[in-house]
Every structure is written in C-alpha cells, then in structure tokens.
Structure 1
Amino acid sequence: MHAWVQTLLKPEPVALMAVLILLVSLITGMRRGASGSAKHLFFFIWQAAAVVVSLLLAGSGAMYASPFVRDWLVERGIAIPREEMGGLKQFWYTAITSLRDFELLRFGALFLLLYALLRLLLHAVEPIVFGLVDGLLPRGRDMRRTERSGTMPFISGTASRTTGAMLGALLGGGRAFIAMACLFVYVSILPNAFGTDIIRDSALYNKTASELLDPVAGDVLKRGPVFTEAVEAEFRRVLERKYDVIDAAIPPNIEAAAAAVTKNSPTDEQKARALYDWVGTRIAYDWDKADNYVERGIWKEQTPTDTFATRKGVCIDVARLYAVMARSVGLEVRVVTGVGATGNGGYGPHAWNEVKLADAGGKWIPLDATWASSGDWFNPQGFSKSHIRDV
C-alpha cells in the first residue's frame, strides 16, 4: 500500500489525474452522504458489470453467428447487377456483399449489433434494479430513526458524511482504475501516438500496468497493432468492393473494344493477356493528376469511361478500366489496392488487378497494366515483392 501511495503522490500528469479523480469523488461522496454515495457506488458497479457482460456475450455471440450469416447470404445468391445504380443502391450492394465475403467486417457488424441489443436490454431492467436498491437505502431512514432515539442529528450527519466520503473514495478508485485501463489500451494499440511517451514515463501507470492490467490482458492487447492493421486492411477491401459495384455497368463502346481485343483469344489467360497489352499500351500515366494529389491534396475522381475516352489516368484508373473490360468478356477480376515499389527502395500507394483463370483450375494471377511500359508485369515471378496488397 505504501508503494502505491508513493507512486500516486509523485507530481506527474497521470498521477495528478488519478489524484484529481479521487479527490472529486471523495468530496462528492461527502456531500451526498452514506445513502447517496451507496447508490452511486452500486450504479457504478452495475454499469461496469453490464459493459463487461455485454462485451463477453456479444463477442461469443458474434463468433457463433458469423458462419451462419455468411452461409445465409451465400444461399441468397446475391449478385451485383450489371446496370447503372444510384448512390443508395451502390451502398446496399457494397455493404451486403462485403458482409458476405469479409469475415472481420461481418464479425464487427454482428458484435456491434449484439452489444447494442444487450446494453438496451440491461438498460431496460435498470429502473427495476435501482428501485429495489432505493428501497433498501431510502433517503432519511437513518435520520428519522436517530431522531426518534434522541441522538443528535449533528452526530448522525457527520457519520453519514464520513461514510459517504469513504464510499466516494472507493468510487473514485474505480474511476481512476478505468482511466488507467483506457490509457493502457491506448498505449497498447497505438504505441507511437500522441502522448504515449508521457504516459509510459509515469511511475503510477507502469505500476498499474505491470501489476494489474498486464496479467488480465495477457496477449490480447499486445496484438493490438496487428488487429489495427487488420481493420485497416479490411476497410481497404471494402473500398475495393466499392469499385466492383460502381463499375458494374459496362458502357457499349468499352464492351465493343474489349470484344475486339480478345476475339482471337480462346482461353482466359490469353484474354487477360490481350487486355493487359491493350490497356498497358493505350493508357498514358497522368502525371499532372498524380502531382496535384501529392503536392496539393487535390484528387480528381474519374470513371472507366473517362479513362477510356481521355486515354490517361493513374494506377487506380487503369486498374478500374482493365476490370471493366475484363468483366465484359466473361473474366472474373478484381481491383487490388496496396503499395508498390517506387524504384528508390521505398513503397507508395498503388493499385493493380488480379484475374481468375476459370479454365485453368480457377487460380488467380496478378497483373499491373500501369507498369506495362517498364516491363512485363503480367503474372511475373516475384510480383509480390514489388506489390504488397492490403490484406
């Protein structure tokens, strides 16, 4: 206990925060008295327990329900319509097919839904529970009994305030611990974020983390950065799916061009190769658009129709046009986002394509029509060394 008091009294931001929480809770408890402080302490414990129980049940329920939801969506046979769609319809097909195909997104959606329902259910029974507690600790009962027994109200009030202060201190300790736990989660998941150095320099934080939080968290939060990267990757996969939806409608002129390019290509690989050669030699890289985005933060959105008409675009524009042309001749293709080698030892944001060869065992092959002018980037060896996808 002495060691904890010593760390608490050291003048640094985290310890000062904990002391402030304790003092405010102690003073508030003294003002409320024994009965009021007991009710607030019970309310605090109830809320904390409700959050923990809801999190555990929601996590278990989401894990159990996820495969059933996936199978149900697969059985529905949902397909993206090859037609022009409004914004609401585009959002619907992006969301529903992403929930069907992306496991982490599906788990997250189910988890949030179940957690909200459980918290709503527990919130509905709170009036009953608090009514029972209020009946056990009615305001003024002790005062009336004291007055009937002839005891001085001052003595009773002092005892009530003292007890309230003690209960307030307990409540403050709980609040301070939750604040420390929030800092622990923040530092674990975002180790290089703003203020983490100050938090890690705190003796109180280090003692709380090492003796109380680390044993409870185990390896869960130590995998926080990995989980964060997985969430970011899943978000990018949803963005990739968005391109499948908004580019579902194939303009007649693009469809005709793709048919002409692949007319002498009987296999899926030959079709994919012919389209790679055509797009790679017809679409020039739009350096002005790239420089505007890098230097000024100005992004010019363009459709595959725009890219086909102007014959220029950046990597995402080339990849989207290739995908539309490939789909028009019956190929299954996807737009992939990630980072590509820059040639000077670094990597930068990039986009390319993957095509499924249905007549060759269903394997997926990568290609990068944007880089076609610098070499053969149609399923070469070592493609993954220069192209790192966000999955």
Structure 2
Amino acid sequence: MITRLNYITLLIVFVFLISLIQGIKRGLSKSAFQLSQVIQDIIINITAVIITWKITNWLSPKLQNWMILKSIQIPSEELNVLEKGYYIVLTSIRDFTFIRFILIFLVIYLLIQFLIMLLFNLVFLNLIRTMKMMNGRKQSKSEIPLFISQLFGGFIGVIFGLAKGLIVILFLFIFVTLFPQTPFTSYIQSSTLYQSGTEKVLQPISQNFIETTLPVLAKEAEDEYNEVLQRKYEIIDHNIPDNIVEATHVIVKDLNTDEEKAKALYDWVGTRVQYNWEKVRLYEEEKVWMEQTPEDTFLTKQGVCIDYSRLYAVMARTAGLDVKVVTGLGYDGRGGMGAHAWNEVYLSETNEWIPLDTTWVSSGGNWFNSNDFYETHIKDA
C-alpha cells in the first residue's frame, strides 16, 4: 500500500496537518496574532510589488536610454578582473531588457518594502497601542476556556494549512509548466490533491497566466543569460594584440563579403592551431586548468576548443564581423557528448547567424555552416 501512495499528495496533507496542529497548540490568542502578522505582511508585500512594478516599467527604458547616451566604451588597455566584471555587468544592464528589469525591480522592491513597513509601524502600531489603552486591561488567557481557545486556534490553523498547501501546489505547478517532459512531472500530475488545487484554484485565479507567460519569460531569461556568457568573452578578449590584428588583415585583405572573410579565418585557425591533448590530460587527471589568452593560442599554435573559439572571435572582430563564442556539448567520437566550444558569426549578406567549429577542421568534414551542424553540437541552455 505504501508503494502505491503518491508522495506529492502526502506532502500537501502533511503541510496542512502541521499547520492544524500548530493552531490547536497555540490557541486563539497566539494564532490570531500570527494571522494578523501574516495579513500585515501580505498587505505590505502586495503594495510594494504593485508600486515597484509601475516604477520599474517607467524607469527601465529611461535607464537604458541614459546608458546609451553616455556611450559606455570598454577601454582598449588590458583590464584587471574587477574591471572586466564591472563592464560585463554594466553592458549587460544596458543591452539586456530582462536582466535590467529584474535588477531594477529587486533594488526598488527592497527600498519600497522597507519604507512601507516603516510607515506601517509608525502609524498602525501607535493606533493599536492607543486602542489598548482606551479598552483598559487586556483580557487574560485564563478568561477564555481552553477548549474554545484550541478550537478557534485550530480553525485558524486550517486557514494557514490551506494557504501553505496552495503555495506547495503553486511551486509544483511552476515546475510542471517549465519542465513538462520529465518523469517527475508525470508523477506530480498523478496526485489527486495537486490536480484539484490547480484546476479549482490556481488556474481560475491565474487565468492560465503561469502556463502561457512563465515559459516565455523563462526562455527570455535563458537567452539573455547565454548572451551574458558571450559578453564575458567579448570583455575579456576586448584588447586585441597588434600581431593578431596584422595577421587578420593579411588573411582577409582581398576578400569582400562577410562569408568570404569568415570562411578564410575558419580555415586559417583550424589548420594553424594544433589540439593540445596535454592540456586536456592535466585538467582531467590532475584538475589543473591552463588558462590562456587568444594571443597565447596565436603564438604557441596550441589550444583546446575554447582557445580555438576565442582566437577565432578576436580575429573575426578585427575583420569587422559580429561573432559569438558558443559553449555547450559536442560529439566526442565515442557515442557520447562532452563539453565543447565553437563560434557563430553574422553574415550581413544573408542576414543570419551561422555556426562554425574551427577545432574540428583537422578531423575532416565541413564544420562551416554545415546542414547537420547541430546534430553534433548542443548549445548551453
């Protein structure tokens, strides 16, 4: 019988029973006080969210316009770690709507919540003290029969239990919405209490907002997070050494289109740089990572996938191309997938981003915008 029980249902029941037992043990006065505190917190938080939402919607585009007008430029000289982090954060706030909105919202929300709570305590707590003084002596707990106190405390505990149970169902509902294909999702949906909570309470209240909007927001957040990862390499490798600049100009000197330049650099990096198996061995066996710059890769002509990709990126940018360093998984030749990095470059002639993998040039095959490229490459998500 135990193996047939749905543990999601048991979890919801357990949360409800804990609140009921707590209500009975606390009695009327303590439970009522806790309820009043919860109601106060709900009022403060809802008010803070509404005010913050309106301020953020108004402020976010204005902040972006101001940052664009300030023309934030990444210095050409070598940056230290703190400076690199500063420009990654600053340019991400300027360029990515979702990230900017969330950061502004969090800062303003904390400030508004503090101010509302301060005002609430100053006004309402003084009012409560005045009312207590007018009512005279506070009724003692002994004047309320224990059974009545426990009964009403249990009733308040039921209210808390239902609310907490719905919160549990809400988090499960969000998980199911974001990850609909997992085995755990099917298990959650098999719970009768979960089904009742979503069908009779959450869906009517939200009017399918969570199901329709949350996945879209999650996708936007994921896309912008990946763009921030890309921005990291743009900042780190912003300072391009003269020797790489000179070599790039020689390679693309007589070429006109973005595709010709991108293909020439793909061939040059892929055939000049040799894969550094010793670097891989040190990392896998001794957990030692040999960090290297694009200039290190250019001079030594050795590196692993991330080194190929970063070198290609700085050369492509030197040639006037828009380029990304993409991380994810790549086919390992043994039936599995392993950590990998490659590039995407923008072709203005066709108005599209195309993938290319300079690391795999030496292994044969066409890895410059091949039709089956993403059969062997999976982007981070």
Q: TM-score, normalised by structure 2?
A: 0.79
- Counterpart position of 1:337: 327
What is the CA-CA distance between 1:131 and the residue it aligns to? 0.6
In the alignment, which residue of structure 1 is the partner of 2:12? 14
The residue aligned with 1:66 is 60
Give the alignment partner of residue 204 of structure 1, picking from 184, 193, 196. 193
Distance (whole Å) between structure 2 residues aligned to residue 140 and residue 205 of structure 1: 48
Q: Equivalents in 1 of 2:358, 2:350: separation in Å?
A: 23
Aligned partners of 1:57 and 1:338: how far apart in 2? 40
Whole-Å separation in 2 of the counterparts to 1:378 and 1:203: 52
Partner of 2:75, secondary structure, is coil
1:256 partner amino acid: E
Note closer, same or farther for the CA distance 1:92–1:295 as it changes in structure 2 (3 Å cut). same
Partners in 2 of 1:145 and 1:40 — Cα distance? 18
Q: Distance in 2 between matches of 1:344 and 1:216?
A: 51
Change (3 A) 1:248 1:50: same
Q: CA deviation at 1:343?
A: 6.7
Aligned to 2:205: 216
In structure 2, do the counterparts of structure 1 residues 158 and 364 end up closer, same or farther at CA, with 3 Å as the change threshold? closer
The superposition leaves residues 212-261 of structure 1 with CA deviations (integer Å, 9 ceiling, x where unpaired) of 12322343333545644543332222111100001111223323332333
> Aligned AA for 1:68?
K
Alignment-derived partner of residue 367 in structure 1: 356
Q: Deviations over 1:253-274 (max 9, x none)?
A: 3233323333444554443333
Q: Is 1:113 matched up with 2:112?
A: no
- Paired with 2:136 and 2:147, the residues of 1 have a C-alpha distance of 12
The residue that corresponds to 2:118 in the other structure is 124
The sequence identity of aligned pairs, in percent, is 37
| 1:255 to 2:245 alignment | yes
C-alpha displacement of 1:15: 0.7
Give the Cα–Cα distance (whole angstroms) in 2 for the partners of residues 385 and 367 of structure 1.
Answer: 13
Give 1:328's match in structure 2, choosing from 312, 315, 318. 318
Match of 1:311 in 2: 301
Q: Which amino acid aligns with 1:249?
A: N
| Worse overlay, 209-218 or 198-207 | 198-207
SS of corresponding position for 1:12: helix
1:247–1:40 Cα change, 3 Å: same
Shift in CA distance, 266/191, structure 1 to aligned 2, threshold 3 Å:
closer
Instruction: Give the letter for the 1:213 counterpart.
Output: L
Deviations 1:288-323 (A, max 9, x none): 545666788765432212222332222221110011
Number of residues of Structure 1 aligned to a counterpart in Structure 2: 373
The counterpart of 2:89, out of the listed 91, 95, 100, is: 95
The 2-side partners of 1:236 and 1:13 are apart by 35
- The 3 A distance-change label for structure 1 pair 289 and 49 is farther
Structural RMSD (CA): 4.0
Query: Could you tell me how far apart the structure 1 residues matched to 2:190 and 2:14 are?
Result: 13
Distance 1:133 1:203 in 2: 46
Secondary structure at the aligned position of 2:345 is classed as strand
CA distance in 2, matches of 1:221, 1:296: 46
SS of residue in 2 equivalent to 1:335: strand
Distance 2:335 2:342 in 1: 20
SS of the residue corresponding to residue 138 of structure 1 reads: helix
5+ unaligned residues in a row in structure 1: which ranges? 1-9, 147-151
Q: Structure 2: how far apart are the matches of 1:225 and 1:346?
A: 29
- TM-score in terms of structure 1 length: 0.77
With over 3 angstroms needed to count, the CA separation of the structure-2 counterparts of 1:390 and 1:169, relative to structure 1, is: closer
